[in-house]
Amino acid sequence: MPTILGPNQYGKAENRVVKITRDGATHHIKDLNVSVALSGDMAEVHYSGSNANVLPTDTTKNTVYAFAKEYGIDSAEQFGIHLARHFVTSQEPIHRARVRIEEYAWERIETSDADSRFVGADEAKHSFVRTGRETRLTQITYDGERWEVVSGLKDLAVMNSTDSEFWGYAKDGYTTLQEAYDRILATQVSGRWRFNWTDDEQRTPDWETSYEQTRKHMLQAFAETYSLSLQQTLYQMGARIIDHRSEIDEVRFSLPNKHHFLVDLEPFGLRNDNEVYLAADRPYGLIEATVLRDGCEARIPVDLTNL
Ligand SMILES: O=c1[nH]c(=O)c2[nH]c(=O)[nH]c2[nH]1
């Protein structure tokens, strides 16, 4: 049976790089997990084992660390763009690079003492605590002509303890769900947003500001939407981002509906006045949708676990 090689890519995954920038005694941290996937003229290594076109994955790893020193890490996006450009433009057989980065947030430890080791009165200059915040994400893809920058986040847990209803839904013989006029709405946001950035237009956003503002608009929309369904809330979250951030054309969310069930306390002679809930972990409703700037194309993959 003749066979041929299908799609393939290779590179070093999960390069953990921590970059300390020393501004005198005040230090700054960037903590990234960088995965590089390269593709191009790689048939021969699969067919015959000739490694002539193969830049070793070990070199890919070394480049990540060397670039952290040589160019610094202003933002995950800028760092990923730099790496992707390097692999595609420096190695003729490499036609496409995809760089995925996760970023973990650290914040300064607050201190009670004011002395020279501290920034201001109460922030340590070189002592940090990893925040319980979400994981920030970015993916940069470059094929020598086109760039695609998709950033986002995962594991951002949010809850509204009121202003959420769910009723008026379709019912059939298997429907048992009671209509809810005041329920908890909770989810763990996984979101991705695609930038309209291209290298030639010199319209490069400040990636750090863009992330903080996008996150802020998303959270404000979650908090401020009186929700009739998680679907409606999702749309508002996406629309708020598109309305406020001109650098973003597409937003996709995957939102697990983290169900909170009122516990029946009647057997104990107690009235549960919307106070005591069982937080169920599974199964969960899974609400997923893309919100687009009018006229733009949906390009973020439907399944966010693939991004
Ligand atoms: O916001 C919701 N959307 C649904 O589609 C749904 N389905 C369900 O059982 N509960 C909910 N809640």
Q: For residue range 143-180, list pLDDT tens digits in order.
A: 999 999 999 999 999 999 999 999 999 999 999 999 99
With a threshold of 0.95, tell me whether the complex ipTM lies above it: yes
Q: What is the DSSP letter of 145?
A: S
The catalytic residue positions are 12, 57, 259
What tokens were used for 66? 């060397």
Query: Which is the CATH superfamily of the domain at 152-307?
Result: Urate Oxidase; (3.10.270.10)
* Cα 281 to averaged position of ligand 1 atoms, centre (Å): 15
What tokens were used for 22? 């020393």
* Cα 186 to averaged position of ligand 1 atoms, centre (Å): 12
Domain 9-145 adopts which CATH fold?
A: Urate Oxidase (3.10.270)
Mean pLDDT, the chain, integer: 95
> Residue 196 and residue 118: Cα distance in Å, rounded?
40
- The residues of the chain that CATH labels 3.10.270.10 are 9-145, 152-307
Q: What is the DSSP letter of 289?
A: E
Binning the chain into helix, strand and coil, the percentages to the nearest 5 are 25, 35, 40
What's the average model confidence in pLDDT over 1-6?
94
Cβ neighbours of residue 284 closer than 8 Å, sequence gap 6 or more: 256, 257, 258, 259
Whether the per-residue pLDDT at 111 is higher than 90: the answer is no
> Residue 34 and residue 81: Cα distance in Å, rounded?
12
Q: Please tell me if the CB atom of residue 165 comes closer than 6 angstroms to any atom of ligand 1.
A: no
Q: Please tell me if the CB atom of residue 257 comes closer than 6 angstroms to any atom of ligand 1.
A: yes
Its pTM surpasses 0.90 = yes
Tell me the best of 158, 159, 229, 233 to mutate to test the pocket of ligand 1, counting ligand atoms within 8 Å of each CB and taking the most: 229
Whether the per-residue pLDDT at 116 is higher than 90: the answer is no
What's the average model confidence in pLDDT over 26-51?
98
What's the average model confidence in pLDDT over 200-206?
83
Q: Are strands 248-257 and 185-195 parallel, antiparallel or unpaired?
A: antiparallel
CA gyration radius, the chain = 24
Q: Please tell me if the CB atom of residue 234 comes closer than 6 angstroms to any atom of ligand 1.
A: no
